[in-house]
Structure 1
Amino acid sequence: MKPLFKVLFAAALATATTGCKDFLDINDNPNVATSVTPDALLANALVTTAAIYTGGISAGSNYNSYASFAAGYWGKSGTVSGFSQERTYIYSTTYYQALWNNTYDNLNDYQQIQNLGGTTYPNHAAIARIMKVYNYLLLVDEYGDIPYTNALKGLDNTNPTYDKAADIYKDLVVQLKGAVADINTAAANDDALVVGNEDVVFGGGTTGMLRWKRFANSLRLRILLRESSTNDAALNAYVATEMNALRTDATDGFIDRDVVVQPSYTANTNQQNPFYDRYGFAAGATRAQSEYSYVMPTNYIIRQYLDNNDPRIAQLYRQGQKQDASGTTATAAYVGTDLGEGTPPQFNPGDCGCVTVGSRFLQGGTFLRSATAPTVLMLLSEHLFSKSEAEIRGLWTGTPDDALAQTDYQNGILASFVTTYRDGNTAPAAPVATNTALAGVTQYNTYMAANTSNGLVNWAAVSTTVPEEAGANAGVTPRTVSKTDKILYQKYLAENTLASVEAWDDYRRTAQPKFKRALTPNPLPNRLFYPQTEVSTNLANIPTGVTSASKIFWDVLD
């Protein structure tokens, strides 16, 4: 297991009766534990999921670091070598293989919680059931067919067979329905223990379990939308049926704020926000971590903010400097790179201060708020944009509903601004357009007012000349923008680095937006290879003929 898991596992053994600060206490020894209960396992499992998802464990082992390159958000800086697979799209069986191993390791934690649930811990087991869906969905979306039915059986089955991705998708919906039913049943069970502060996502208690049901509903929408764009008539009929069922079942609603993990991270060694610890500052350090200088924003993503008068850029990146044509002076500017370019910018301005200097994550900004900032599991903006897409395509009510779609679209942008401008020590809150006290609302209003004729921002505008697409004619000839296009575009901006894997999945599903690919003749890969660890131990069960060009079942567009 990875070091973070080892460090945090000890903390989870004593969580039932302790404060949140003890979730990151590393003084206990897990090897001496003689028994364990679900409440002692839950916090650690959730913290580990967040670290695997958000990009805070180590290189080659987390979803958002991988997807930030694939989806066009990140490029390699000129201060480091390597990143050859990101820059060439030539993947191998060892590329990000720890995603597979870490996720299955985490799934085993949730399986143990489920196995131990019984009549005493049914709420903990229901949470674990939801989080198993969350993790399995990540695996299916990056690998396709995976071990599922016969997985998580330990020594009883060390070489599990593979299930079809489409079959797993359908069962994930079943599992989410079952988890919500389990929570409702547990409410009438006098023997069921109340979830306490070991719930480092929603805080436990009755309110916490209500929010877990809403999260399950939002995950159902994510799943159904992902498989909604194929030409498979049977699958389309299934999606229509299940969308209608979700609309009927979701009496408790959907998420109304960002879903985050917050075990009370502290500015101590092995206790910091994992993304901050990797790309920001080590505990007590005054110099940034080395990986802070390894990556930088792409020219493409910088252009989207600048050309749309989007103030969020000032919360995401620190300015570099741009050399003028004479080569004698440079001015402050946002400077990116094109993934795959031979000599990407460095960060040293030189003695004359006249060279081009690249931009990096803003220290204290959205991505590197603080050592104690929470980590994201699902953004409210993602959910609202997904719901807007379902409404405008007629998936939600059977026929397109422009009014509902517009409301959710605009609130999705608003939610992104609130997330972007939220202080690192402030808990996520539901954004309300009339609540001017929320950080980000003023900037949102300014952004919308500055883009009334921009088809990528304004709901009613139908065209754009903003160079959001790569190509010689980008930004020259007006292009018609459908309402689905603008939803996906704004969703892409909202998910930058915080939820890059969702943007990557949406791109493979919809081919939107047309971000600039790496400077390589190689085609953009459609999936990851099965890891070498699996090839070495379970080769007989791995599907044959799989290449990086092989598509996940819901990926039908080029």
Structure 2
Amino acid sequence: MKKIILILFAICLTNSCVNDSEDYHEDQKKPYQIPSQYLFSQAEKSLVDKLVTPNFNRNVFRFLQQYWTETTYYTEVKYDFENRKVTQNFWNGLYLDVLGNLNDSKKIIEAEQPKITATANEIISFNKIKINKLAIIELLNVYTYQILVDTYGNIPYSEAGFPLENINPKYDDAETIYIDLITRTEKAIDNLDISEASFGKADFLYGGNITKWKKFGNSLLIKLGIALADQNLTLSTQAVNKGFLGGAILSNDDNAKFNYDSNSPNFNPLYDNLFASNRNDFVAADTFVNYLNKLNDPRREVYFQLYNEKDKNGNIISSYYKGGKFGSPGNTIRNSSKIGLFAYTSTTPGILFEASEINFYLAEAAARNSGYIVTGAENYYNNAITASFEFWNVPIGNYLSTVPYNASNWKESIGMQAWIALYNRIESWNTKRRLDYPILHVSSSSVLPEVPVRFRYPIDERTVNSANYSQAAAAIGKDDYNIKIFWDKY
């Protein structure tokens, strides 16, 4: 609670936190209510924090994709997520800190009224701004629900927004949720009016820029649609085509980027966990580094730090990128490459959407070809890789010629390059599950026979919401880490 208060206080300082309501001075006996924009700001920050943090109690996607391995604790790289309640913490973080704040902000905005003295034009403008705000909240709701579905499968959805009325919500079918999320996204995009304002400075992603939020919405349509490519081709092509025609995030200038600052508690969670906490828990995993070394990929220089091999006198005799053996004890900061300096920088931004990601989705749509209007898979593939190099500020040189697009095995081409480009992004897990590249294997010490393809439901759901949990587990076959999400067909 203390941290939340500090964050909200920081937001107030940043945005000149005052109550500009017309009746503020008329009735100061009314109970204090946090303004809607600060709840929205907190939801944005919470969402990015949950997806960026390397804290192994809250987010373990870097182990699922075998980007990193551990040096102090080894339960997570063994895929033993039960001890630290990883699945519980991720679930709670998205439902409570993100969806909860978005829901509260929405309720306040819906109840807001224009000033009593407002002119007719001012009332029209007020209502349009209100609609813009609600549409943006809706897009973040959809984004968050997709993450939950992609992580767990069937989840509480239709009853999830009413915790006081129903503390034991039912679980909805995952595919049914996806269908509704696409409808909600389309409606939210249509409701956005670029001629009016929205949250302004309280919007840490786009500063209230509605044109960019439209691109966010269209990118979300593409993301939702491409996930359904093997499950529901008709809906997939509908969503991807509409998002593509509407204009999506194809340039890094339009990335959905949360700019952290240098002051606690608003610096990047990577910095918090790797530097400010004075911990050395993570190093590069050999699974990933070996592949980067094979390609001589220039992005190694920002993804990781050089390992210095020394002689018995402590003199450096060679420097190169070295991964610790994934899932095995014995890895240390001294015998493996450390994580890149970006993780030790407080202001490194957090990303919800980036150009590389959307270009890869469009490359996939063009490669599939069945009903998608997108053409030129190789072009989007090259654009995606180029955008990644630009994002990390690394010269691309002749790299594209070393990893040419292979139309006969486009899943491998796109899957392997997306694995590299979406480093530090949870979306890489989705691409891997959909395209089956890269091919990853568990360590000999793993508690699971395969790399997880979903999370188990939280312990609290199994005990407190047991009846609905049991129905949900039965509906997907079994509550296990190797049960595929509905769209993961192959």
Q: Which bracket does the TM-score occupy, shorter chain normalised?
A: 0.7 to 0.9
Q: Call closer, same or farther: CA 1:18–1:554 in 2, change over 3 Å.
A: same
Q: Call closer, same or farther: CA 1:395–1:519 in 2, change over 3 Å.
A: farther
2:57 to 50, 56, 60: 60
Counterpart contact for 2:143–2:220, Cα < 8 Å? yes
Does residue 307 (structure 1) correspond to residue 304 (structure 2)? The answer is: no
Q: What per-residue deviation string (whole Å, max 9, x for no partner) do you get for residues 338-394 of structure 1?
A: 2222433x234xxxxxxxx2111122xx444x2123211122101111111111111
What letter matches 1:140 in structure 2?
V
- Residue in 2 aligned with 1:476? none
**1:114-513 → structure 2 map (5 Å cutoff):** 114-118=106-110, 119=127, 121-184=130-193, 187=195, 194-204=198-208, 208-230=209-231, 235-248=232-245, 250=246, 252-257=247-252, 259-262=255-258, 265-280=260-275, 282=276, 289-291=277-279, 293-322=280-309, 331-344=318-331, 346-348=332-334, 357-363=335-341, 366-368=342-344, 370-395=345-370, 397=372, 401=375, 404-421=376-393, 440=394, 443-449=395-401, 451=402, 457-459=403-405, 482-497=409-424, 499=425, 501-513=426-438
Q: Call closer, same or farther: CA 1:341–1:109 in 2, change over 3 Å.
A: same
Does residue 552 (structure 1) correspond to residue 477 (structure 2)? The answer is: no
Deviation at 1:514, TM superposition (A): 1.6
What letter matches 1:547 in structure 2?
D
Q: Say which SS state the counterpart of residue 210 (structure 1) adopts.
A: helix
Deviation at 1:539, TM superposition (A): 1.3
Counterpart contact for 1:142–1:527, Cα < 8 Å? yes
Deviation at 1:91, TM superposition (A): 4.8
What letter matches 1:308 in structure 2?
L
Q: Call closer, same or farther: CA 1:70–1:169 in 2, change over 3 Å.
A: same
Task: Give the Cα separation in 2 of the matches to 1:413 and 1:11.
Answer: 37
- Residue in 1 aligned with 2:8? 9
What letter matches 2:229 in structure 1?
S
Q: What per-residue deviation string (whole Å, max 9, x for no partner) do you get for residues 160-181 of structure 1?
A: 1110111111111111111112
- Residue in 1 aligned with 2:69? 75
What letter matches 1:128 in structure 2?
I
Deviation at 1:126, TM superposition (A): 1.2
What letter matches 2:69 in structure 1?
G
TM-score (norm 1): 0.74
Deviation at 1:332, TM superposition (A): 2.1
Task: Give the Cα separation in 2 of the matches to 1:255 and 1:202.
Answer: 16
Unpaired segments ≥5 residues, structure 2: 19-29, 111-126
Q: Call closer, same or farther: CA 1:97–1:229 in 2, change over 3 Å.
A: same
Q: Call closer, same or farther: CA 1:315–1:12 in 2, change over 3 Å.
A: closer
Task: Give the Cα separation in 2 of the matches to 1:256 and 1:396.
Answer: 25
**1:28-47 → structure 2 map (5 Å cutoff):** 34-47=32-45
Task: Give the Cα separation in 2 of the matches to 1:44 and 1:528.
Answer: 26
Deviation at 1:46, TM superposition (A): 0.8
Task: Give the Cα separation in 1 of the matches to 2:396 and 2:371.
Answer: 27
Q: Call closer, same or farther: CA 1:328–1:49 in 2, change over 3 Å.
A: closer
- Residue in 2 aligned with 1:112? 104
Counterpart contact for 2:154–2:172, Cα < 8 Å? yes
Deviation at 1:410, TM superposition (A): 0.9
- Residue in 2 aligned with 1:473? none
- Residue in 2 aligned with 1:426? none
Q: What per-residue deviation string (whole Å, max 9, x for no partner) do you get for residues 22-79 of structure 1?
A: xxxxxxxxxx9712332232222111111011116x43213xxx111011111112xx
Task: Give the Cα separation in 1 of the matches to 2:85 and 2:250.
Answer: 36
Deviation at 1:89, TM superposition (A): 5.1
Q: What per-residue deviation string (whole Å, max 9, x for no partner) do you get for residues 289-327 of structure 1?
A: 433x21111112112222112111112211123479xx9
Counterpart contact for 1:243–1:396, Cα < 8 Å? no
Deviation at 1:92, TM superposition (A): 6.2
Counterpart contact for 1:146–1:164, Cα < 8 Å? yes
Deviation at 1:13, TM superposition (A): 5.6
**1:77-92 → structure 2 map (5 Å cutoff):** 77=71, 80=72, 82-88=73-79, 91=82
Task: Give the Cα separation in 2 of the matches to 1:16 and 1:90.
Answer: 39
Q: Which has the higher helix share?
A: 2
Unpaired segments ≥5 residues, structure 1: 20-31, 283-288, 349-356, 422-439, 452-456, 463-480
Q: Call closer, same or farther: CA 1:16–1:75 in 2, change over 3 Å.
A: closer
TM-score (norm 2): 0.84
Give % identity.
24
Select between 131-140 and 112-121 the one with higher mean Cα deviation.
112-121
Counterpart contact for 1:335–1:359, Cα < 8 Å? yes
Q: Call closer, same or farther: CA 1:329–1:309 in 2, change over 3 Å.
A: closer
Task: Give the Cα separation in 2 of the matches to 1:367 and 1:334.
Answer: 17
